[in-house]
Amino acid sequence: MRKTISYVLVTAGALVMLVPFVAALSNSLKSFAQYIQVPPSWIPDPVHWDNYAEVWRRTPFGLYLTNSLVIAALAVAGNVLTSAMVGHALARMRLPGRDALLTMALGTMMLPTVITIVPNFLLFRSLGWLDTLLPLIAPYWLATPIGIFLMRQTFLGIPKDFEEAASLDGANPWQVFWRIHLPLAKPALATLAVFTFTTSWKAVLEPTIYLTSPEHYTLPVGVLSLKGQFVGNDQLVTAAAMMSLLPMLVVFVLAQRYFVRGTMSAGLKG
Amino acid sequence: MTVLTRKAGKVAADPRPSSGRRHAGERAWAFAFASPYLLHLVALAAWPLLASLFFSMTDYDLVSPPKFVGFGNFTRLFGDEVFWRTLGNTAYFAVLFVPTQTVLALGLAIALNQRLRGMALFRAAYFVPVVSSWVVVAYVADAVFNPQTGLANQVLGFLGLPSENWLQDPALVIPTLAAVAVWKGVGYMMVLFLAGLQAIPEERYEAAKIDGASAWNRFRYITLPGISGTTFLVLVLTSIETLQSFEQVFVMTDGGPHGASELTVLHLYRQGFQFFQMGYASAIAWVLFVLVLALTLVQFRLQRRWVHYA
């Protein structure tokens, strides 16, 4: 009985989650006339696949996609590497002031973004990085608090025997980290990678502030700018938005367990 | 969080015999490993805090050098009607959004925690909006809340109710935005709650059942205290995030209609990046920062009254 109620509740909820996506997908396959037709039709007839081709023809969509991919790839590489390094220092190395650093990491995790918007803009401006992809990549190369916590927890759980054996064989700390600890931490690295990818892929505020030339736009900013180009033809912008979601969906489907695992470990921190 | 620091203390106290020289070498390595975060603390934490405080006391238009004006920006801010209105809008949005999302996420987590078949599939369905950018969500929401062609008005029409203007109605825009935000965020919170629920030992429920406790009492006296730590985390995180909400209104309404959905960070963005008043924008940032901090501290204080760490 209770299970039946749960099923009904959960299924209804899942429909509420997914039906709007289906409706948007349907919108993206309509001609302008079909798009503004009242009452609207659920399944466009005929299906207007050409919207997707038209977005590619008339906009630098490929460029937006490339920019987003380049930024996401470099953000993932940077955050995974540096967060693992710092997490390793906090978990396995004799770092003076280690506890203070851990407390500060907690503090920065709670630091509201709002306080960083103007100063970071001024910082990147003085570095001459405005309207380049660098402000969207570089911060990830300085480790993130969440990444540090995740990696520190993981490295704490790895037995000491491995590194002791390696040290006796004359391996230096970098070799211990790179050859022994990192391979053992693969699931956590994957979790951090998918989270970083998502954060970078979804970002709207930072690219809006830092990028001015269309050839540097990422997908969210690029798609948003199409609103001006396709005045009123929102079925085309919807098609572009759907395409911008696709790479994210692929990552999500392939790495679903890491998303759940990561979210859960974030929750257990409390 | 208490768990983390306690563990840190334990690890720090492992004395290993080694010569002074080897010690120094180890330290150098440790600093090298930690260096990205040391740089992070300087460039991405200390600098923003100090710089925004400094700029909040200046007039700075990016062209001429910053001019010191003392508390001028703050005086202006307290007389700025738009600022107060955005603060009111933000509070209204938060009051609608935070409790709704928390209650729904908990309800879904409890339902999903019963080892339902196809649970992974359901969880995935709730996570799709979480991984979507606000730009995607804006067009998905348009398919629902477009006054002419959207699903919502079709449903209302089907029920014989009059159509609404949703995002174009000054009275409905914030409730509609809050509904969309719940739709987007509930899956993430649900997974957080699921983790909390799964940490409650099964035996507690069995013992209560043997004692004849009703389903409601089991929920009230086992589930709720058992997940109070998670609930606390969820509330702190969402409040911090909600007070700084920007992307959703920037993409979906641009503050409209007639400023009815203008939130404080959108006001900050406009002052800073459209009117280039960096000093004034920094003052807005600091006031909001203090508000966020105060709210977080209040929540940490109140936590003692209702959060049980088992």
Q: Give the domain ranges of chain B.
A: 84-306
The mean pLDDT value of chain B amounts to 89
Contact assessment for residue A157 and residue A184, using Cβ atoms and an 8 Å cutoff:
no
Q: How many CB atoms lie within 10 A of CB A8?
A: 11
Provide the pairing of β-strand B58-59 with B67-68: antiparallel
The letter for the amino acid at A198 is T
* Partners of residue B114 in chain A, C-beta under 8 Å: 2-3, 6
pTM of the model: 0.90
Burial of B256 (0-12, 13-18, 19+ CB in 10 A): middle
Q: What mean pLDDT is reported for chain A?
A: 90
pLDDT tens digit sequence for B261-281:
999 999 999 999 999 999 999
3-state secondary structure of B59: strand
Q: Which residues, in sequence order, are CB contacts of B76 under 8 Å at separation 6+?
A: B280, B283
- What domains are defined for chain A? 1-48 (no CATH), 58-268 (1.10.3720.10)
Residue of A nearest to B280 (CA): A118
Q: Which residues of A126-161 are buried (b: 16+ CB within 10 A; e: fewer)?
A: eeebeebbbbbbbbbbbbbbbbbbbbbbbbbebeee
Residue with tokens 């935000």: B181
* Best residue in B5, B130, B136, B227 for a mutation probing chain A (most A CBs within 10 Å): B136
Tell me how close the Cα of B300 comes to any Cα of chain A, in angstroms.
12
Q: What ipTM was predicted for this assembly?
A: 0.91
- Is there a contact between A93 and B33 if contact means CB atoms under 8 Å apart? yes
The CA distance from A162 to the nearest CA of chain B, in Å, is 16
Burial B217-252 (b: 16+ CB within 10 A, else e): ebeeebbebbbbbbbbbbbbbbbbbbbbbbbbbbbb
Which residue in chain A has the smallest CA separation from B36? A142
- The 10s digit of each residue's pLDDT in B106-133 is 999 988 888 777 878 888 889 899 999 9
HEC letters along B67-127 = EECCCHHHHHHHCCHHHHHHHHHHHHHHHHHHHHHHHHHHHHHHHHCCCCCCHHHHHHHHH
At the topology level of CATH, where does B84-306 sit?
Answer: MetI-like fold (1.10.3720)
Predicted confidence (pLDDT) at residue A270 exceeds the cutoff of 80: no
Of A21, A237, A264, the CB nearest to B128: A21
Q: How confident is the model at residue B1 (pLDDT cuts 50, 70, 90)?
A: very low
CA torsion sign for A51, A56, A58, A61 is: positive
Chain A residues near residue B292 by CB distance under 8 angstroms: 112, 114
- For residue B310, the model assigns a pLDDT of 56
Nearest to B36 among A82, A125, A205 (CB): A82
Chain segment B59-70, per-residue pLDDT in tens: 999 999 999 999
pLDDT digit string (tens) for A15-54?
Answer: 999 999 999 999 999 999 899 888 888 888 899 999 999 9
Size of interface A-B (CB pairs under 8 A): 297
pLDDT digits (tens, 9 = 90+) for B276-307: 999 999 999 999 999 999 998 898 888 888 88
Q: What is the pLDDT of residue B119?
A: 79
Contact A142 B278 (CB under 8 A): no
Inter-chain CB proximity A256 and B49 less than 8 Å: no
Given a cut of 90, is residue A86 above it in pLDDT? yes
Q: How far is A17 from chain B (nearest CA, A)?
A: 6
Nearest to A113 by CA among A134, A139, A137, A133: A139
Residue A18 to residue B31, Cβ atoms within 8 A:
no
Reported as a pLDDT band with limits 50, 70 and 90, residue B20 is low
Decide if A35 contacts A235 (C-beta within 8 A): yes
Confidence label for A68 from pLDDT (cuts 50, 70 and 90): very high
Consecutive H or E run containing B58: strand B58-59
